[in-house]
Amino acid sequence: MRFRGRYIAIALLVFVAAAFASCITETSISNKEREKISLAAWIRLNKPELEENYQEEGGYYVEVLEWGGDEAITPTENELGNAPIMEQDTCWVYYNIVGRDMNGRVCLTRDGSLADLCGTFSYSTHYVPFFNYAGSNNQGLLEGTYLAMRHEITLGEEYRAKLGKSEPFYLRRGSKVRLYLPSSIAYGESGSSAEGGYEGQYSLDANRSMIMEIEVKSVIKNPSEKELDMVDAYIEGAAGWVQAEKAKREDEDDTAEDNTTSDSENEGTTTDKTDDDTLKGLYYRLGFNPKTSDMTSYRYVAPEKVGINNPYRDTKKYANIDDINRRINEILLERFGEGTTDLTDKTKVNTVNTINVWYVLRFMDGYVLDTNIKEVRELVFDDQSGTESVYQYRHADSNPDSEKPASIAAWYYAIPYMHHGAYGEIVTTSAYAYGSVGITGSTTTDTTTTTTPEMAYNNYYNYYNYYNNYYYGYNNYYNYYNYNYFASPSTDSETVTTTTISTEVLPYTPLVFTIFVEEE
């Protein structure tokens, strides 16, 4: 009987194992369903308190880090204050994100301090909150982010009690959550390999669940109005700014006739024009002097006005942006001097000819986005390549009405008022720059192999000494063999890998140019 019972038990075990194997290989279970089961098992093992925070739509879990809406903020005509995002049919959101794989390894981040810890920090990256449309229709948000922003978040009773909250939970200003997302509402079959300096230590493989932290910094209705407010704040009280006109200057003579008042008459004020004559959000200023300019004349402001006074406060030499820009002024003085004070028609640029321009392009918080001056590149981007190229501006090629204008519209409307041998400044909304799309940051890697004859000679010399010691007495044969085969300089080379990052420009981002125009 005991033997018989033992055989029965073994038979049952084999049957159960076979049945379990059959379930595992069942082709009717989709990859999406398998991942759902896997994510649920991970939550049960690592975050069991979140099981009751399961979101049916999307199949993800939510951990609340900051409830949000606690700060007393009075909504303005454009700023939505503490109102829930999902209540707005149309809105734009500033938010920080950090993406990790399920082992907690960083895959992407917009936090400069975290990027520094990960060893992925780049001086060419503008570490500020992401900015995206978050209205009722999804037009660019990651699906998991969209679901979290546009729906009430389900929280279990026990979890809610620990937070001491009884009201519904919606994402709003000040909210910070950690989302545990299946790949179907994250990066799916493509996976994620962030570019533009936002990379983490690792990339996210295809069809992998991920952990996404979201911190909502601000919610606004109209980004164009926000930009205009920022530009107005930038020029407010500052002398010399002139609002650009719609009239397009064809040449030097037309310019003198177009102006009803001279630039000197407008000194210290903005030109008073009607809406039909002027370009909203586009101003230029003449006679900038880097020697006498103090940093208050820059009037740099936090780009989103969302509590980020200096996004580089913890990242090496960017800890003091004012100091960086003072040093840039010193470079400008050394390269171009103080600039001419003769701002009359005889020095005004002739837009029929090619104009040589040097520039420094900044965001409104003082961060340098781009420059064609090598000393500034070395200072700001730690670029040791030593390369530079003067920008050859041709007005005819820069018409914004053409299919592919050679430069942004702000230059087309402002450069004709500049002077040879003098500095000028431009502040503009995105309407005359990179628009509602902006520029996506990217990272490219270039590997070059170069011949190094000096290294080849040293290698040969060392090998020759070795050969003389080892093959002493056979030098006629081996010397010929060694010299012609092993020590040819063409066989020695050095490989250099260069990583280049193009700086991201977010949608609806104002820009500030400092320009020097060469003598004609």
Helix (H, G, I), strand (E, B) or coil at 378: helix
Residue with tokens 């734009």: 92
Q: Is the pLDDT reported for residue 465 higher than 50?
A: yes
Helix (H) or strand (E) holding 451: strand 442-451
Number of H helices, E strands in the chain: 12, 16
Question: Alpha helices, DSSP H only, in 351-437?
Answer: 374-381, 409-414
**pLDDT winner (highest mean) among 200-209, 266-275, 489-498:** 200-209
Q: Which two tokens stand for residue 506?
A: 């977010």
What pLDDT digit, counting tens, does each position of 313-372 carry? 444 545 667 778 888 999 999 999 999 999 999 999 988 999 999 999 998 888 889 999
What pLDDT digit, counting tens, does each position of 246-272 carry? 754 444 444 433 433 344 334 444 445
Q: Which one has a higher pLDDT value, 307 or 132?
A: 132
Spatial contact of 187 and 35, defined as CB atoms under 8 Å apart: no
Residue 339 burial (CB count, 10 A): 23
Amino acid (one-letter) located at 257: E
Mean pLDDT (whole number) for 210-227: 93
Q: Is the pLDDT reported for residue 152 higher than 50?
A: yes
pLDDT for the residue numbered 444? 82
Spatial contact of 201 and 104, defined as CB atoms under 8 Å apart: no
DSSP output for 246-297: SPPP-SHHHHHHH-SS-TTTTTTS-----TTTEEEEEEEEE---TTT--GGG
Mean pLDDT (whole number) for 369-386: 88
Q: Is the pLDDT reported for residue 147 higher than 90?
A: yes
Mean pLDDT (whole number) for 416-441: 94
Q: What are 501's strand-pairing partners?
A: 443
pLDDT for the residue numbered 274? 53
pLDDT for the residue numbered 233? 86
DSSP 316: G
Nearest to 424 by CA among 222, 263, 312, 211: 263
pLDDT for the residue numbered 149? 96
Helix (H, G, I), strand (E, B) or coil at 38: helix
Amino acid (one-letter) located at 167: E
Helix axes 321-336, 374-381, angle to 10 degrees: 160
High-pLDDT (> 90) share of the chain, %: 45
pLDDT for the residue numbered 312? 43
Q: Of 20-24, 196-200, 241-245, where does mean pLDDT reach its minimum?
A: 20-24
Provide the CB-side half-sphere exposure for 302 (13 A, CA): 16
Task: Kindly give, in sequence order, each residue whose CB lies less than 8 Å from that of residue 131, ignoring residues fewer than 6 positions away.
Answer: 92, 93, 94, 223, 304, 506, 507, 508, 509
Mean pLDDT (whole number) for 445-464: 59
How many angstroms separate the CA atoms of 28 and 201, rounded?
A: 36
What pLDDT digit, counting tens, does each position of 6-62 carry? 443 434 444 444 444 444 455 578 888 999 999 999 999 999 999 999 999 999 999
pLDDT for the residue numbered 77? 75
Residue 163 burial (CB count, 10 A): 11
Q: Which two tokens stand for residue 425?
A: 């400044």
How many angstroms separate the CA atoms of 7 and 72, rounded?
A: 74
Nearest to 515 by CA among 429, 419, 395: 419
Residue with tokens 């990790």: 100
Spatial contact of 144 and 58, defined as CB atoms under 8 Å apart: yes
Task: Kindly give, in sequence order, each residue whose CB lies less than 8 Å from that of residue 5, ignoring residues fewer than 6 positions away.
Answer: none
Spatial contact of 154 and 63, defined as CB atoms under 8 Å apart: no
How many angstroms separate the CA atoms of 33 and 31, rounded?
A: 5
Q: Which two tokens stand for residue 389?
A: 């190229």
Mean pLDDT (whole number) for 381-393: 87
Please, what sign has the CA dihedral across residues 443, 449, 453, 457? Answer: positive
Mean pLDDT (whole number) for 419-426: 95
The pTM of this model reads: 0.78
Spatial contact of 499 and 443, defined as CB atoms under 8 Å apart: yes
Q: How many residues does the chain have?
A: 520
High-pLDDT (> 70) share of the chain, %: 74
Nearest to 391 by CA among 367, 419, 370: 370
pLDDT for the residue numbered 180? 98
pLDDT for the residue numbered 4? 45
Provide the CB-side half-sphere exposure for 314 (13 A, CA): 10
Mean pLDDT of the chain: 79
pLDDT for the residue numbered 76? 73
Residue with tokens 């049960």: 44
Q: What are 219's strand-pairing partners?
A: 93
Mean pLDDT (whole number) for 136-159: 94
Residue 291: which pLDDT band, with cuts at 50, 70 and 90? confident
Q: Which one has a higher pLDDT value, 467 or 220?
A: 220
How many angstroms separate the CA atoms of 3 and 25, rounded?
A: 33
What pLDDT digit, counting tens, does each position of 77-100 carry? 788 888 899 999 999 999 999 999
pLDDT for the residue numbered 519? 92
Residue 39: left if φ>0, alpha if ψ -120 to 50, beta else—which one?
A: alpha
Q: Chain centroid to CA 106: how far?
A: 17
Q: Is the pLDDT reported for residue 458 higher than 90?
A: no
